[in-house]
């Protein structure tokens, strides 16, 4: 026989029924036995995790805007994703935390600014970040990690994509797949 959690029912020690993987223990109020219930519910259950599985060369560096189109979908709950366009569609209205990161390569002293843009296909630009200067030394072909972390309110059916650009030199900047999930986009619904 498998037991769950031992508790005092006011008279003696007793045990709950066993729960299942992913269940959470919930109180039923004073004088009642706690029970296991399925986990989840609330914000944070809808998520999208995307990763790049190949290097991208010569995509920006002279101000050319590059739409991020990761090839691999690791999780897509509450989203649809088109890896041929980079378009992401949310199925629920709410507040979303968006995080994206690239490991850039081919940077030299002339590249001075990088910019991330979140663009809604219906309403236009909805978020932008300029993390700052890329490089100030004279190193050539240096690598640099750039990321954006932002929260946005989105409506069910909103479709958006994430663009990246770098300025200041010739179009020689790409990003490398270092064998980890450095180059990725993750999005979580954190509120309704």
Of 109, 90, 107, the closest CA to residue 98 belongs to 90
Same domain, 128 and 185: yes
The encoded tokens of residue 134 equal 């890329």
Residue 141 banded pLDDT, cuts 50, 70, 90: low
- Report the domain count for the chain: 2
- pTM for this one? 0.70
CATH number at residue 66: 2.60.120.40
Give pLDDT tens digits for 162-176. 988 888 888 888 888
Same domain, 138 and 55: yes
Are the beta carbons of 56 and 27 closer than 8 angstroms? no
Same domain, 108 and 29: no
Same domain, 21 and 75: no
Are the beta carbons of 74 and 185 closer than 8 angstroms? no
Q: Which residues pair with 95 in a beta bridge?
A: 153, 191
Same domain, 110 and 72: yes
Same domain, 65 and 10: no
- List the domain range (segments joined by +) for residue 78: 47-191
Out of 32-46, 60-74, 126-140, give the one with best mean pLDDT. 60-74
Same domain, 30 and 67: no
Cα distance between residue 112 and residue 134, in whole Å: 5
Looking at the chain, the whole-number percentage of residues with pLDDT higher than 90 is 15
Same domain, 97 and 22: no
Same domain, 74 and 132: yes
Same domain, 97 and 185: yes
Question: Using CB atoms within 10 A of its CB, is residue 159 exposed (0-12), middle (13-18) or buried (19+)?
Answer: middle
Cα distance between residue 34 and residue 78, in whole Å: 30
Position 44 pLDDT exceeds 80: no
Q: What is the pLDDT of residue 159?
A: 93
Give pLDDT tens digits for 144-162. 777 888 888 899 999 999 9
The torsion region of residue 44 among left (phi > 0), alpha (psi -120 to 50) and beta comes to left
Same domain, 124 and 169: yes
């Amino acid at each position: 026989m498998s037991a769950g959690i031992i508790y005092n029912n006011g008279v003696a020690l007793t045990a709950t029924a066993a729960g299942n993987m992913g269940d959470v223990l919930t109180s039923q109020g004073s004088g009642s036995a706690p029970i296991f219930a399925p986990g989840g519910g609330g914000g944070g259950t809808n998520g999208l995790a995307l990763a790049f599985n190949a290097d991208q060369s010569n995509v920006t560096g002279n101000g050319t805007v590059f739409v991020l189109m990761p090839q691999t979908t690791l999780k897509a709950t509450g989203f649809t994703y088109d890896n041929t366009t980079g378009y992401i569609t949310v199925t629920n209205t709410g507040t979303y935390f968006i995080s994206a990161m690239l490991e850039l390569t081919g940077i030299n002293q002339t590249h001075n600014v990088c910019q991330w843009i979140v663009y809604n296909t219906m309403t236009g630009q909805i978020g932008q970040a300029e993390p700052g200067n890329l490089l100030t030394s004279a190193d050539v072909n240096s690598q640099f990690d750039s990321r954006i972390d932002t929260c946005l309110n989105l409506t069910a059916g909103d479709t958006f994509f994430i663009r990246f650009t770098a300025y200041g030199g010739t179009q020689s900047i790409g990003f490398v797949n270092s064998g980890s999930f450095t180059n990725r986009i993750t999005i979580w619904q954190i509120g309704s």
